[in-house]
Amino acid sequence: MKPFITFFIMLAGIVVVALAQKLPAENEMSAYLMVFHKDDTHSLHMALSRDGYTFTALNDGKPVIAGDTIAEQKGIRDPHIFRGPDGAFYLAMTDLHIFAQREGLRDTEWERDGSLYGWGNNRCLVLMKSYDLINWKRTNLHMDNLSDKYKEIGCAWAPETIYDESKNKLIIYYTMRFGNGQNRLYYFYVNDDYDTAETMPELLFEYPKKGVAAIDGDITKIGDKYHMFYVSHDGQAGIKHAVSDKINSDYTYLPEWVDPEPKACEAPNVWKRIGENKWVLMYDCYGIARHNFGFVETSDFVNFTPLGHFNEGPMKSTNFTSPKHGAVVHLTAEEADRLEKHWNNR
């Protein structure tokens, strides 16, 4: 059995053959695109901002891609969007529906026995590539089919994409465990079409304390350093930071907690304020009664200034609530206008 299946998603009713284009420079960018999922839809949502503070969901807050149309478990979680040096948008998601039994989508709580494979067990990643954010090429990548070594994985969660300049290749990194064991961060190189793993998964990072999970890695290159924010389950779940000179190894553990939250949080994502020496670390506050995104800001990756949650400080969401596990990428004004027009005219 092949470890992947490829499809085309036609959101505008036609397939557009897009030609490769280069990545716009930062001074050509003027908007921010946020992707996220919601627990009540298990689908992909998008929101736009022109200033990096106020975000408005596209499609009037409804999903832009329904999870049951792209995922084998009929739901997606943990969307991450990355822009490659070719100008393309790379969207990676977890193929997982945590309420599938309740929704009548399967007879059991999980895809496989939870005592053997753990909470939220799954085996598949959803990978999508587009040049216009409207027409997408999709692949369902079965991590358990890469080799016999991975037949008994318990999960493949929260995939993200980054570009390895030294190899001129894209990397996908994600959370994985074997059976019901410890969650660790792994990576593999993926082909330019974003539909085939070119290497077998290798360990990226594990928490230094035995038995403690490290999940939801997010890597940003700043200067000649790679900064990885991730979730530690060393007590209450929260955000920690590790740094390396290499993209895929030798991350130095830093013991300090980065988030200021009194309750559990996960899903860190770092994005830059356009034209400023400031980066925002966004994360998912799932431990509060009505979950929300939280934000801190930094200029040196040492000191982090809390910005509060959506609609409790300078960060605003105008027409959506309770977003889950998001990521942000820059757009040009033309790209933002086209995307807004597409969804406003439906």
Q: Answer yes or no: is pLDDT of 4 > 50.
A: no
Q: For residue 253, tell me if it sits in a domain.
A: yes
Q: Is the dihedral of CA 107, 113, 115, 119 positive or negative?
A: negative
The answer to the question of residue 223 being in a domain is: yes
> Containing domain of residue 198, as a range?
27-344
Average pLDDT over residues 193-199: 98
**Are the C-beta atoms of residues 64 and 36 closer than 8 Å to each other?**
no
**What's the number of domains the chain is made of?**
1
Model confidence at 256: pLDDT above 70:
yes
Residue 18 falls inside a structural domain: no
The pLDDT tens digits of the residues spanning 286-325 come to 999 999 999 999 999 999 999 999 999 999 999 999 999 9
pLDDT digits (tens, 9 = 90+) for 26-67: 999 999 999 999 999 999 999 999 999 999 999 999 999 999
Residue 13 has pLDDT above 60, yes or no: no
Q: Examine the pLDDT at 1 and tell me if it is beyond 70.
A: no
Sheet arrangement for strand 124-130: 4-10, 135-142, 124-130, 89-95, 76-83
Mean pLDDT of 269-292: 97
* H and E: helices and strands count for the chain: 2, 22
Question: What pLDDT is stored for residue 344 in this prediction?
Answer: 87
Residue type, 30: S
Phi, psi of 269 (to 5 degrees): -150, 130
pLDDT bucket at 153, cuts 50 / 70 / 90: very high
Residue 5 inside a domain? The answer is no
14 found inside a domain: no
Domain CATH for 256: 2.115.10.20
Query: 78 lies in a domain?
Result: yes
Is 256 inside a domain boundary? yes
Residue 2 lies in a domain: no
